[in-house]
Amino acid sequence: MEYIDIVSIGVNIKTIAEEQRNTRTKRSGCPKKNDILSITSVFLEHGNHSRDPLTNKFAISHRTLTEPMLEDIKFWTTNGDISMRTQQQLLFAKYENVFFLPQDLTNAIQKFKKERQIENEAATLINHLLECKAEDIRWIVKWRVDSATNSLVSLFWMTPEQYDLYVKYRDVIQYDNTYSTNQFKMALGLFVIVDNNNRSHLVRQTLMNDETLESFEWVFTTLLEAVNFPPSVIITDNDLASDTAIANIMPGTYHIHCIYHIGQNLLKNLKARLGSQYNEFSNAWYQMRNAPSQAEFDCLWDSLLEQYPDSVSYLNRALGSQKQR
């Protein structure tokens, strides 16, 4: 038996009685003192009776659309455009012992409609890029589709102007992914160069449904197929899958990590751990980063680990084997 004591909730009973409407619920036998209602306990368990079975039936935990039902709903929605009422009748006839509410069915239908809309928009994007290529054959467009679901897996495109910029300024390329910032909920990869006027230019863009080694290898393989020569230097964030893909596909490219991303990861992983020491650690970190020689860098790295032992496990795990990048 479980009780919750609640003492002296100031509610004026006369006011309640004066304003109470003619409803089925009435105050009866409540303890009172000086017209103040005092709730002394709340009993949360049922006594000699169980809950109404109908209550259990309508509970969310007892309402479900099974996998076969969802497959039927998806098929009817994407291929037949069948109305909700008709689908409800079909489900009731086919699955007699499964209970669900019309709202459950409506939610499922809207989910599959949204997925179909995204797939249609992906196809529209690819068709638009192919139309651009038909007008100018120098456009480069490549994509992958999942054979089982017929959904877009990866896409990359490069305009003629971007191709020319890449050829001219391919010495140093910066590559970075932004995740789930588009309607396809895919990773958007951007390749950027800096020209002789110190201006940045986008020279290639990719969409990926994940950030696995296989996807990154596809990205860099299609780059080489498109332009025939890799960049001299590529700058990325500290991602193991992309690091491995670059080493496998472009072994002759010098690969370094972006110091900005490293700094952001230090802040995220070490600020709470180091506490008041973090600002001093940060200053020592950037002094090490700006070391004029490899020997001085290595000396300052060892000093950093010795002076801030709470940072050792993260630094060795995340950066220890890749210091030179």
- pTM score over 0.85: no
For residue 141, what are the CA distances in angstroms to 126, 193, 271, 319? 8, 20, 43, 36
Structure tokens at 6: 């609640």
Q: What pLDDT score was predicted for residue 140?
A: 95
- Let me know: does 105 contact 116? Beta carbons within 8 Å: no
Distance CA 140, CA 153 (A): 17
User: Checking phi first, is residue 35 left (phi over 0); if not, alpha (psi -120 to 50) or beta?
Assistant: left
- Confidence band, pLDDT 50/70/90 cuts, at residue 294: confident
Instruction: Enumerate the domain spans of the chain.
Output: 1-45, 60-135, 138-257, 260-322
User: Is 3.30.60 the CATH classification of the domain at 138-257?
Assistant: no
Minimum mean pLDDT range among 35-44, 63-72, 134-143, 277-286 = 35-44
Helix 213-227 vs helix 160-168: angle between axes, to the nearest 10 degrees? 90
